[in-house]
Every structure is written in structure tokens, then in C-alpha cells.
Amino acid sequence: MTDERGDFTFRAPSLYGTADDFTYAGAMSFLRRRYTRDLNGVDVVVSGIPYDLGTSNRPGSRFGPRAIRQASTHIAWGPQWPYDFDPLHRLAVIDWGDHAFDIGYPERMTASVEASTLGFFEAGCFPMTMGGDHFVTYPLLRAAAKHHGDGLSLIHFDAHTDTSRTDNLNHGSMFYHATREGLIDPARSIHMGIRMYVSYKDGFNVIDGWQMQRRSVGDIGAEIRDVVGDNKAYVTFDIDFLDPAYAPGTGTPVAGGPTTTVALDVLRQLQGLDLIGMDLVEVAPEYDVGEVTSLAGASIMYQMLHVLAVDRPVMIETDDTDGD
């Protein structure tokens, strides 16, 4: 008799539920979610932007989406500690695949990603996007502002501010341009984990790398909530927020950063905020060791799914082993 299990990516009977595929085999998608472009009934749409032409140091983050998908198979089986529920029993999550664009024309990439992501918003979905270098957040923010309105809050995890005052559009200047265009309100936005010298004021609130490691997680969460308030907020997570010991696979590593545990704990503090979208960028697997960085990226995204699902009802029948 043929065993009908396996390849949940294509054969999942529902948008809900957890895969029982082997972690080391089968078709890859993020957390083994159904690979589809049908947005009907979808709560969260995961997609990739394999683009790294905006990087100023080591390239390679174009391979980030593929690496994060592969690493996510290690954690696709159930809840992430310390939660006692499976978010995939509460949220309909799909893997939409990667955005397509002409690699020789960066402006066409931004237009294509903006248009596709606007479609996600218009379908009522929460976009969760894998980069790519950090420049890809720029078209994502343009789509978010078109749908939700200008003046968004940006919750920014990074070793760098990415607000360089230059006319060039790259992975170190896009938030300067986003501020000039009114897409984000710096007074209601926050940089976290910053470990670079900046000679100018960009208007953002800042919790630098030193503070991230010495203030309590609850205190950090309280400041984030105070800054953002009831404003709509977009979360962007550059993997170099983490110390290189926890994320060596990135293009611009900076020593002295927080641990993966701190990152996951701070993300839990975002519960209750009006979150509209999220991205995870700058994973460059060529420089990784044992999938450490890719797994950190996948875990951060999975943590966000838990944050989004914490108050959602269970949508499928489950057993008693996962707390649902």
C-alpha cells in the first residue's frame, strides 16, 4: 500500500495544519506551507525577494529566501517554545514563492514588488517577506503606505540605521527616502540594536546595541508600545541585528549585538500592536555556518506568526498535544 504522506507543500489538504514531512526530504516551502498564488482565504502570505544589488559589502542575500525555506523545515512540526499552541492551526499561511523581476533593472524590481505586495494587502493578507538585502523593504513600505496610508510606524531591528542621507537608493539609505516620502513617521518609529556611528539626527527613537543587552525585555517592550501607540506598524528585521556569533551569514556583520534569545523575547513584546506586515532580510547563506543564520531567520518569522495568532481562534480540529 502506498504511503500518501509527504510533500505537504503541494499536497496539503487545507491551508491550516502542520506538516508531518521529514525535515530532511521533500519539496521545500516556508514551514511546508502550501505553495500557491491563490490568496482566497489566506491570512498570511510568505514570499521571497531574491535581490542583493543594493548591498554595500558582501553580496549573497539573493539566496536568503531559499536558505530560510530549507532551515524552516527544522521547526515546521509544531509550536515554538515557550508558546503552547500551533499558529498554523489558527492562521491560514501560504508560500507564494519568489517575486519575479528583470535583474538588470533595479527600478523594475521595486515596481514589481510594490505591485505584488499591494495585491497582498488588498486581498486582506499580512505580507511576511524574505529578502534579499534590506533595500527590498522600500517597495514593501510603498505598498503598505498605498493601502494603509502614509505615516506608518517602523519597528526596525538592525545594527545600522539605514538612513544615510544620499540620493542613491541602496540598502543603507532606503529609510531616509521612505521618511522624505512620508511613508513612515520617524517620531513614531524605533531603531533597535544600532551599533554604528551616526553624525546626524534622523528623528527615530533609538535603543542601541548596548541598551538592548542591558535593559530588561519588558522595559524595551514598554518603550516600543509607547512610541508606536495605536499607529499601524510595519516590522523589518535585518538579521545583522544579531551578534555575528548568532548570525554569521550576512553581508555586513557587526560585533556586539544581541542574542537570538533576546530577539525572540522582544518580538513577543509586539503582541497587541496594530501590525500590518513584516520582513526578514540580509540572510546570506554563503557566509553561514551549519545553517545558524538561516535557522535564526526562520525562527524569527515563526515567532511573528505566534505573535499574530495568539488571540486568534483555532480553525481545525487538533489533538491535545499542542495546547490547542
Q: Please give the angle made by the CA atoms of 282, 7 and 28, to the nearest 5 degrees.
A: 10
Q: Is the Cα dihedral 169, 241, 83, 220 positive or negative?
A: negative
* pLDDT tens digits along 236-270: 999 999 999 999 999 999 999 999 999 999 999 99
* Residue 189 confidence (pLDDT): 98
pLDDT at 322 exceeding the cut of 80: no
* Residue 4 confidence (pLDDT): 64
* CA distance linking residue 49 with residue 129, whole number of Å: 7
Residue 2, in any domain of the structure: no
* Residue 80 confidence (pLDDT): 83
* Residue 321 confidence (pLDDT): 40
Confidence of residue 166 (pLDDT cuts 50, 70, 90): confident
pLDDT at 227 exceeding the cut of 90: yes
* Residue 136 confidence (pLDDT): 96
Check: CB of residue 219 under 8 Å from CB of residue 137.
no
Question: What residues does 4 pair with on adjacent strands?
Answer: none
Residue 317, in any domain of the structure: no
* CA distance linking residue 37 with residue 189, whole number of Å: 32
Residue 316, in any domain of the structure: no
Question: What residues does 237 pair with on adjacent strands?
Answer: 157, 280
Residue 281: in which H helix or E strand, if any? strand 274-281
Q: Which triple of cell numbers denotes residue 102? A: 528583470
Residue 133, in any domain of the structure: yes
Q: Which triple of cell numbers denotes residue 37? A: 498564488
Confidence of residue 1 (pLDDT cuts 50, 70, 90): very low
Q: For residue 154, what are the domain limits? A: 8-309
* pLDDT tens digits along 25-84: 888 899 999 999 999 999 999 999 999 988 888 999 999 999 999 999 999 988 888 898
* Residue 320 confidence (pLDDT): 42
Q: Which of 159, 171, 169, 127 is nearest to 145 (CA)?
A: 127
* pLDDT tens digits along 107-116: 899 999 999 9
For 299, residues 6+ apart whose C-beta sits below 8 A from its C-beta are: 75, 80, 260, 264
4, 8, 10, 216, 319 from 22: Cα distances, Å: 13, 10, 15, 38, 20
Residue 145, in any domain of the structure: yes
pLDDT at 319 exceeding the cut of 80: no
Question: Average per-residue pLDDT in the chain?
Answer: 93
Total tally of structural domains belonging to the chain? 1
161 φ, ψ (degrees, to nearest 5): -75, -30
pLDDT at 160 exceeding the cut of 60: yes
* pLDDT tens digits along 203-225: 999 999 999 999 999 999 999 99
For 134, residues 6+ apart whose C-beta sits below 8 A from its C-beta are: 54, 158, 162, 171, 172, 174, 236, 238, 281, 282
Residue 318, in any domain of the structure: no
DSSP string, 62-98: GGHHHHHHHHHGGGTTSPPTT-SS-GGGTS-EEEEEE
Residue 274, in any domain of the structure: yes
Please give the DSSP secondary-structure letter assigned to residue 152: B
* Residue 107 confidence (pLDDT): 85
DSSP H helical segments within the chain, as ranges? 8-11, 64-72, 106-122, 137-148, 174-180, 209-214, 217-228, 260-268, 292-309
Q: Which triple of cell numbers denotes residue 215? A: 535593559
* CA distance linking residue 105 with residue 75, whole number of Å: 36
Domain CATH for 226: 3.40.800.10
Residue 320, in any domain of the structure: no
pLDDT cut 90: percent of the chain above it? 77
DSSP H helical segments within 86-163, as ranges? 106-122, 137-148
